[in-house]
C-alpha cells in the first residue's frame, strides 16, 4: 500500500508540473522484502511464489522506487503495530509528533547543502 501511495503522489506532482527525476525512497525493516525487491530474486521462503505478480518489483525496476533498510528500532510505524517497551514507545511517539528526526531522514538543510554543492561544481 505504501508503494501505491508513493506512485499516487508522484502522479499528482507530475500533473502539477513538478518533475520527479529520482526514484522515491521507501524504508523497509523486512530484510526478505528488501532482498526480493532490490535483487529481483526470490528468497528461500518466496521461491514458490510467482514474483512477477508483485507490482513493487516492477516499480523498483522502472526506477520509481528504491527500497532502503531501516532498523526496527528506528521504524516509527512499529509504535502503531507492535507492543513496545516504554522507552521505545516514547521514542517512536516523539518521532511521529515531530519532536525527533530519525537518523535516516534528510533534513532541509542537508538537501540545501547538496543543491549548493551541485551548483558550485557546475
61-111 tens-digit pLDDT: 888 888 888 887 888 888 888 888 899 899 888 988 888 888 777 666 666
Q: For residue 50, name the pLDDT band (cuts at 50, 70, 90).
A: low
Q: What is the pTM of this model?
A: 0.65
Q: Between vectors from CA 85 to CA 80 and to CA 31, what angle results, nearest 5°?
A: 60
- CA 15 → CA 10, 18, 116, distances in Å? 9, 7, 27
Through-space distance between the first and last CA atoms of the chain, rounded to whole angstroms: 39
Mean pLDDT, residues 41-54 taken together: 56
Query: Where is pLDDT greater, at 76 or 48?
Result: 76
- Give CA–CA dist 42/35, Å, rounded: 8
| pLDDT recorded at residue 11 | 92
Question: Does the structure show a pLDDT above 70 at 48?
Answer: no
Q: For position 16, what pLDDT does the model report?
A: 93
Q: Which three cell numbers stand for residue 54?
A: 508483485
pLDDT at position 15, please? 93
pLDDT at position 52: 47
Confidence check: pLDDT of 5 > 80: yes
Identify the band that residue 122 occupies on the pLDDT scale cut at 50, 70 and 90.
Answer: low
Indicate the helix (H) or strand (E) that contains 95. Answer: helix 86-96
Phi (first) and psi of residue 110, to 5 degrees: -65, -45
Which residues, 6 or more positions from 98, have their beta carbon under 8 angstroms from its beta carbon? none
Amino acid at each position: 500500500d505504501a508503494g501505491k501511495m508513493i506512485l499516487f503522489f508522484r502522479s499528482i506532482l507530475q500533473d502539477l508540473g513538478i518533475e520527479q527525476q529520482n526514484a522515491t525512497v521507501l524504508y523497509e525493516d523486512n530484510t526478505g522484502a528488501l532482498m526480493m525487491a532490490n535483487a529481483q530474486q526470490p528468497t528461500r521462503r518466496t521461491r514458490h511464489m510467482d514474483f512477477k505478480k508483485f507490482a513493487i518489483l516492477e516499480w523498483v525496476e522502472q526506477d520509481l522506487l528504491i527500497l532502503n533498510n531501516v532498523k526496527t528500532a528506528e521504524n516509527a510505524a512499529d509504535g502503531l503495530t507492535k507492543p513496545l517497551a516504554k522507552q521505545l514507545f516514547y521514542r517512536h511517539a516523539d518521532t511521529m509528533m515531530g519532536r525527533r528526526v530519525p537518523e535516516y531522514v534528510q533534513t532541509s538543510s542537508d538537501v540545501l547543502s547538496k543543491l549548493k554543492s551541485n551548483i558550485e561544481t557546475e
